[in-house]
């Protein structure tokens, strides 16, 4: 009797293993180190469930940008809006790409670097590699907070580098020697650019009026959202778990960006996110 039960257990285990093997593979993450400048490498983390995603969403985090990527993804800045929601894009069938700081600035970067030629060369290198890997996919550069400086730098230097640019909670107000995207000059009638801002963003360098003015001045598409969750703490006003980081309305904001990327009118998207 015991032998019979043991045999049955083995059969059940084998059937379960066979069933799991036949299931579709889940998203696979890969840490990649790319040569970008002489003696410098640029780290990225690619996650996708398909070899031909409609969009490759390249994510530039805020703060000093150092994600300290590992084989499992970001080890720091996990609370950043774009980093904590990166899997959203994978669930949509796209590829999500986390961008670390380059090897010569492993511990972080400021606007003096983000807005310079070397930063642009790093971005060029990673976009080139991604287009080679996903030749049929479109590429969107998406930044949040200080990450918008990196995206804005690429946009201003070469609008043809990506198929779309997205600036969320952009650092549109210059302060303490850091210009952010306050001086960004690009023609939104010739390139697809979206700005997203929370009306209750209390981060001094990313206030709503600055984002709206940036969009209007350059003819960028603009989505206004309205949320106060996480607000009221000045020490956290520029953090990810606040109106600046779209706390509590992540799904609506991401859905609006996704809709815009795929051709839905901005006016419709704005109504959905409020």
Residue 14 covered by a domain:
no
pLDDT grade for 12, boundaries at 50, 70 and 90: very low
Mean pLDDT of 151-157: 98
Residue 75 covered by a domain:
yes
> Do the beta carbons of residue 90 and residue 27 sit within 8 Å?
yes
Q: What is the mean pLDDT of the chain?
A: 90
- pLDDT tens per residue, range 242-253: 999 999 999 999
pTM of the entire structure?
A: 0.89
Residue 117 covered by a domain:
yes
Residue 130 covered by a domain:
yes
- pLDDT tens per residue, range 212-226: 999 999 999 999 999
Structural domain for 150, as ranges: 27-273
What is the DSSP track for 251-263? HHHHHHHHHHHTT
| Torsion angle (degrees, nearest 10) of CA 105, 107, 111, 117 | 10
- pLDDT tens per residue, range 186-209: 999 999 999 999 999 999 999 999
Residue 18 covered by a domain:
no
Write down the pLDDT at residue 15.
42
Residue 244 covered by a domain:
yes
Is a pLDDT exceeding 80 seen at residue 211? Answer: yes
Residue 17 covered by a domain:
no
* CATH number of the structural domain spanning residue 230: 3.40.50.1820
Q: Which helix (H) or strand (E) holds 32?
A: strand 28-37
Q: In total, how many domains does the chain have? A: 1
Alpha carbon distance 24, 149 (integer Å)? 38
Closest CA to 85 of 255, 223, 268: 255
Write down the pLDDT at residue 27.
60
Residue 208 covered by a domain:
yes
């Amino acid at each position: 009797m015991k032998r019979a039960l043991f045999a049955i257990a083995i059969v059940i285990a084998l059937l379960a293993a066979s069933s799991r093997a036949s299931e579709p593979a889940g998203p696979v993450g890969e840490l990649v180190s790319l040569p970008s400048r002489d003696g410098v490498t640029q780290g990225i983390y690619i996650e996708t469930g398909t070899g031909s995603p409609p969009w490759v969403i390249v994510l530039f985090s805020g703060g000093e940008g150092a994600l300290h990527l590992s084989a499992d993804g970001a080890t720091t800045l996990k609370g950043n809006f774009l980093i904590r929601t990166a899997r959203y894009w994978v669930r949509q069938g796209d590829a999500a790409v986390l961008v670390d700081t380059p090897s010569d600035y492993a511990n972080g970067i400021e606007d003096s670097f983000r807005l310079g030629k070397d930063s642009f060369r790093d971005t060029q290198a990673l976009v080139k590699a991604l287009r080679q890997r996903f030749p049929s996919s479109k590429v969107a550069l998406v930044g949040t907070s200080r990450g918008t400086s990196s995206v804005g730098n690429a946009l201003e230097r070469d609008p043809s580098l990506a198929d779309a640019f997205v600036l969320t909670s952009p650092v549109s107000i210059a302060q303490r020697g850091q210009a952010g995207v306050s001086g960004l000059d690009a023609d939104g009638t010739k390139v697809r650019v979206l700005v997203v801002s929370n009306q209750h963003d209390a981060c001094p360098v990313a206030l709503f009026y600055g984002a709206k003015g940036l969009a209007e001045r350059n003819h960028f598409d603009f989505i206004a959202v309205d949320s106060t969750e996480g607000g009221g703490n000045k020490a956290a006003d520029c953090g990810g778990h606040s109106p600046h980081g779209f706390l509590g309305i992540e799904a609506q904001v991401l859905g609006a960006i996704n809709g815009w990327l795929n051709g839905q009118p901005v006016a419709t998207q704005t109504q959905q996110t409020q």
